[in-house]
Amino acid sequence: MRITWYGHSAFRLDFKDKVVLIDPFFTDNPGVGGDTAAAEKGLTHILVTHGHFDHLGDTVAIAQRTGAKVVTNFDLCMWIAAQGVKNFDPMNTGGTTEHGGFTVTLVRADHSASAMKDGVSHALGSPNGVIVTAPGEPTVYHMGDTDIFSDMALINELYAPQVAMVPMGDRFTMGPKTAALAVKRFFKLKSVFPCHYGSFLPMVEKDASNFLAEMKGHSTQVIVPEKGKAVEV
């Protein structure tokens, strides 16, 4: 599997004949990097962890351009469909759906999930983490936006992820120390990608250095890739 990070929480997964974007926040992303136009090449699926603008991002426009299937929680999926997206697959926390060679599972996240319209916050379902499982590939867990919670141990027991994207920017998610504790206490990961930093400065961590320091000496490989450059896992 090849994983490409585009800044903030936006990732592309390439495996077999599938190309999956997760939380494609490109437009107006102050931390974006890499060739985001190329990120759409061959796209088959878009997974959205929750409805905040910095995760929903360009989902509607990309889905309309490419025809890629959007997979997210029911409430957000219906909102996306109302924007004109035709190819979508609604689900909800705890559910698993099949996508022609891989599965998507939505798991809990401790956060909020809404969109602002005319100064009013509108709920768009629950915040989630996303588990991507494909035969012969490492199981990937994108945590979305979340705090640490003890049921992460159950997520590890049920799905045994080998690779995770972990938010560590603080203020809106876990900070570096808490994120590192979540990885070390609840998971047996091969690799971890820190995310949700380096964007909304100075409100979030400017880089991953504090997370790297907290993970020093642990067996999990911390990957901080160049934005837009694919990494093999």
Distance between CA atoms of 112 and 196, rounded to whole angstroms? Answer: 15
Kindly state the tokens that stand for 202.
């100075």
* Domain CATH for 216: 3.60.15.10
Residue 233 lies in a domain: no
Between helices 74-82 and 59-66, what is the axis angle to 10°? 60
Q: Label residue 150 by pLDDT band (50, 70, 90).
A: very high
Q: Label residue 122 by pLDDT band (50, 70, 90).
A: confident
Tell me the pTM.
Answer: 0.97
pLDDT at 115 over 90: no
Residue 232 lies in a domain: no
Q: Label residue 120 by pLDDT band (50, 70, 90).
A: confident
Residue 43 lies in a domain: yes
Summarize the confidence of residues 115-122 as an average pLDDT: 83
Distance between CA atoms of 71 and 218, rounded to whole angstroms? Answer: 34
- The predicted pLDDT at position 195 comes to 98
Residue 34 lies in a domain: yes
